[in-house]
């Protein structure tokens, strides 16, 4: 399981950071960073809400 951030697409809106229920993500300047991957519960909220196709949650 991994969270992939496609940095080239990320515009730094921070929607994913805000709506992650487990506080897995944080902003690193204008780009999102996967800060606490082990806390991820695969709810997919970040991937669903990212307007920029910049986050993928790989569950296998």
Residue 21 exposed, middle or buried by CB count within 10 Å (0-12, 13-18, 19+): exposed
Structure tokens at 51: 């307007």
How far apart are CB 9 and other proteins at their closest, in Å?
Answer: 5
Left, alpha or beta for 44 (phi > 0: left; psi -120 to 50: alpha)? Answer: left
In the shown chain, the binding pattern of residues 1 to 30 toward other proteins, with x for contact by CB under 8 A and - for none, equals ---x---xx-xxxxx--xx-----------
How far apart are CB 38 and other proteins at their closest, in Å?
Answer: 18
Binding site for other proteins (CB under 8 A): 4, 8-9, 11-15, 18-19, 47-54, 56-60
């Amino acid at each position: 399981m991994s969270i992939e951030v496609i940095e080239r697409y990320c515009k730094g809106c921070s929607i994913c950071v805000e709506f992650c229920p487990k506080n897995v993500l944080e902003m690193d300047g204008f780009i999102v960073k996967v800060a606490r991957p082990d806390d991820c519960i695969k709810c997919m909220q970040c991937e669903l809400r990212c307007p920029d196709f910049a986050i993928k949650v790989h569950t296998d």
